[in-house]
Amino acid sequence: MWTIDGDSYRSCDGISRRGFLRVGSLGLSGLALPDLLRLRAQAAAPSPAAKSTAVIQIVLSGGPTQIDTFDPKPDAPREFKGEFSTIETRLPGVRFSELLPRCANALDKMALVRSLAHQTSDHLAGTHWIMTAFNSTQQQARKNERPSVGAVAAKMRGAGAPGVPPYVSMGNGFLGSNYVGGAYLGPGFNPFTFNGDPSGNLRARDLDPPSGLSLDRLDDRKTLLARLDRINRARDVSGTMDGLDRFAQQAYEMVTGPAAREALDLSDEDPRLRDRYGRNRLGQSCLLARRLVEAGVTFVTLSDGNWDHHGQIFSLCRAQVPPLDAAVATLVEDLHDRGLADRVLVLVWGEFGRTPRITGNGRDHWPGSMFALLAGGGLKMGQVVGSTTRKGESPAERPLRPEHVIRTVYHVLGIDPNHEFRNESGRPMPILNQADVIRELI
């Protein structure tokens, strides 16, 4: 088991989690990873030729303020507009908070949806909604009732290259990390989870053979396991062991092959590029996400915590928004520079927005208006979709819901939004409620 302790994160309702870094269970003697791969393949639905697209989803866990970032209200009363001035962007007439100069300068490579809203101000239910496209039916639900979008991508698309997982989750946001699972799809479609801090020279030490176990001995162990598999298969009249060698080979390739190890090693990146991303957890996690999709990972969810700004919101934004600005703008520019902009979609959002009216020194939960920032994926960039009222209380034009964003994500991934899975009881479960793509982006 690969585990590196990270920081803890706590939301306003007392939920906390210890951060950690994990890449499944790679002990070949236990065959945990081959079992996972076998489950994944057994449950996978046949699909037409897959697209080569990928998604990096950045979840600002806790509920980011829209008015103090991407939807400022400079003409509103002070108790609404807050302390920050606004700046021009690449798009005439569109202004951002002064804390976002890099994103403002790169808005021609992005699309901003300002008119999102839903009906729950609960952290857990709101996060479940944006991670799965469905509101939770249980109050304070602590795990997926529906598969996350990443799990659907893992099942319908798989990885884009051998030796890497199809779906990865990482970050320090408990809420965003809580709903990444496969639900009734089964654990075979849960993500490989990276929750450490990659701001140092991250190296995948546990992808190396254990001390005293050479690759030759690993080869011998692999051969022995294959022989034992054949014995077990001879006893298995149900046929569930059939093909296990193939999955053991995939696990072996992940341990001994270069793809996963190289993707996780940031030390060969240009130090100047690492500086542009920001020498912090969020910046280096965005860089790692780029390396993962470049290596063939189909879906990366990066959860960034501590956006639950009830009090002292302006001082907290001064500390937290500039690193977000640098990380997101650099990620978008880096994907462009590498010719990946049409293939990789970047999505930045949180579970809801925050109250337009300031209460004390902060803003509370507000699902009535929120934003989503998108970049790449072959979509039409350089535009703002929708708007909110003068005080930012609700959508004024083009009201949209999280389902519309997720429908657009499925479009990028080439996943049929009308597809249905069967849950544990055999009941057909659609992967999406009725929702159209955001047509302005297509």
Cβ neighbours for 257, distance < 8 A, ≥ 6 positions apart:
162, 163
Could you say which DSSP state residue 44 is in?
P
DSSP state of 144: -
Q: What is the mean pLDDT of residues 277-299?
A: 97
The predicted pLDDT at position 188 comes to 84
pLDDT of residue 417: 96
Structure tokens at 365: 């939960």
Pairwise CA distance, residues 83 & 86, whole Å: 10
Phi, psi of 20 (to 5 degrees): -155, 165
Q: How far is CA 224 from the centre of its chain?
A: 38
Query: What residue has token string 């509101």?
Result: 135
- 276 and 284 Cβ atoms separated by less than 8 Å: no
Q: Are 28 and 318 in contact (CB under 8 A)?
A: no
Q: How far, in Å, CA of 181 to CA of 42, rounded?
A: 17
More confident of the two residues 239 and 408: 408
Highest mean pLDDT among 3-7, 38-42, 99-103, 423-427: 99-103
3-state secondary structure of 120: coil
Give the burial class of 51: count Cβ atoms within 10 A of its Cβ; 0-12 exposed, 13-18 middle, 19 or more buried. middle
* Neighbour count for residue 26 (Cβ, 10 Å): 17
Amino acid occupying residue 416: D
Between the alpha carbon of residue 330 and those of residues 106, 235, 262, 372, the distances in Å are 9, 55, 21, 18
Residue whose C-alpha is closest to residue 370's, from 108, 56, 69, 134: 69
The model's confidence at residue 268, banded by pLDDT at 50, 70 and 90, is confident
Q: Does residue 312 register a pLDDT over 50?
A: yes
Check pLDDT > 60 for residue 5. no
Picking from 42-51, 100-109, 193-202, which range would have the lowest pLDDT averaged per residue?
Answer: 42-51
Count CB atoms within 10 A of the CB of residue 238.
Answer: 6
State the pLDDT at residue 237: 41
pTM: 0.85
Is 376 in a helix, a strand, or coil? strand
To which residue do tokens 């049409």 refer?
A: 342
| Phi, psi for residue 373 in degrees, rounded to 5 | -105, 125
DSSP state at residue 196: S
First-to-last alpha carbon distance for the chain, in angstroms, is: 42
Q: Quote the tokens at residue 67.
A: 């008015």
Q: pLDDT for 202-256, tens place per residue?
A: 554 445 555 555 556 555 555 555 555 555 554 444 333 433 344 455 556 666 6
For a pLDDT cut of 70, what percent of the chain falls above it? Answer: 74
- Residue burial 187-212, b: 16+ Cβ < 10 Å; e: rest: ebbbbbbbbbbbbeebebebbebeee
